[in-house]
């Protein structure tokens, strides 16, 4: 089982302009293609309730974090592979029993925080789009945008950077050294 965390952000480090923002309105085609590739490579997705509700998709296998969930339970009775999970109450071994394949972590802030704090993440992909928001939803609550590179390098990740297009979209990736 491998955990991959991926998000797109503005060049000042915000993953959304506000909590109901849809990033598809400002991400590049290249980032959207990259995301589709990641979705096809990972059997399961994990996200917070807000992100799930903004992007409903009945065909994807999802674990949705929510503190409203007292039990690990189906989000909708007629959709077999989408569950609410509350990491404050539920066992991680039960999460890993449900997710038999690779897992793609898709935000938002406190879901990113949880996986980085738990040191579960093998690969991090960050698309930096050529926009400035001057505020909004942060990617992590406790890591500043300008500190990503030193933070992850100091935690035994390697760093790669790739130009995605002529508009200035950049993909940076961190891979955990084994
Ligand atoms: N640019 C990108 O790549 C990207 C990626 C993802 C999301 N986004 C954007 O980010 C915004 C949403 O992000 P957000 O941070 O505001 O919300 P979010 O993480 O999507 O959802 C927050 C909710 O998830 C649940 N949750 C999160 N962490 C939890 C934990 N550790 N334990 C239990 N429950 C947890 C809680 O649900 P309950 O209230 O039910 O307890 C919480 O209210 C949207 O605009 C979305 O489009 C952008």
Residue ranges per structural domain of the chain: 3-176
Beta carbons of 117 and 5 less than 8 angstroms apart: no
In 10 A of CB 18, how many CB atoms?
Answer: 10
Shortest-distance atom of ligand 1 to CA 9: 1
Cα–Cα distance list, 106 to 17, 71, 78, 115, 146 (Å): 16, 22, 23, 11, 21
Distance 166 CA to ligand 1 centre (A): 31
Is it the case that residue 72 has pLDDT exceeding 90? yes
User: In this structure, are residues 62 and 82 in contact, taking their beta carbons and an 8 Å threshold?
Assistant: yes
Q: Is 13 in the pocket of ligand 1 (CB under 6 A)?
A: no
**Would you say domain 3-176 falls under CATH 3.40.50.1110?**
no
Index of the ligand 1 atom closest to the CA of residue 20: 45
Structure tokens at 105: 């972590």
Question: Tokens 């990641």 sit at which residue?
Answer: 38
> What is the spatial distance between Cα 68 and Cα 115, in angstroms, rounded to a whole number?
20
Ligand 1: centre distance to CA 111 (Å): 7
Q: How far is the CA of 100 from the centre of ligand 1 (A)?
A: 23
Mean of pLDDT values over 90-99: 96
Residue 178 reports pLDDT greater than 90: no
Residue that the structure tokens 């449900």 belong to: 98
Ligand 1, atom 5: nearest CA belongs to which residue? 107
Q: Is 22 in the pocket of ligand 1 (CB under 6 A)?
A: yes
Give the predicted TM-score (pTM) of the model: 0.98
How far is 154 from 156, CA to CA, in rounded Å?
A: 6
Please state the rounded mean pLDDT for residues 103-118.
98
Ligand 1 within 6 A of CB of 148: no
Alpha-carbon torsion 18, 21, 24, 25, what sign? negative
Q: Is 12 in the pocket of ligand 1 (CB under 6 A)?
A: no
Residue 64's pLDDT is what?
A: 98
């Amino acid at each position: 089982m491998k955990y991959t965390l991926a998000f797109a952000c503005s060049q000042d480090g915000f993953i959304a302009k506000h909590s109901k923002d849809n990033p598809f309105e400002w991400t590049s085609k290249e980032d959207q293609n990259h995301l589709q590739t990641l979705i096809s490579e990972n059997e399961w997705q994990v996200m917070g309730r807000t992100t799930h509700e903004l992007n409903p998709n009945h065909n994807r296998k999802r674990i949705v974090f929510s503190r409203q969930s007292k039990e690990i339970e189906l989000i909708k009775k007629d959709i077999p592979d989408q569950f609410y999970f509350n990491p404050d109450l539920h066992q991680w071994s039960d999460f890993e029993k449900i997710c038999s394949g690779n897992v793609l972590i898709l935000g938002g802030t406190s879901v990113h925080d949880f996986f980085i704090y738990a040191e579960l993440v093998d690969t991090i992909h960050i698309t930096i789009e050529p926009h400035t928001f001057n505020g909004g939803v942060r990617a992590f609550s406790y890591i500043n945008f300008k500190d990503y590179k030193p933070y992850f390098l100091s935690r035994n990740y390697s760093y790669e950077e790739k130009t995605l297009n002529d508009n200035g979209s950049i993909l940076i990736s961190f891979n955990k050294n084994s």
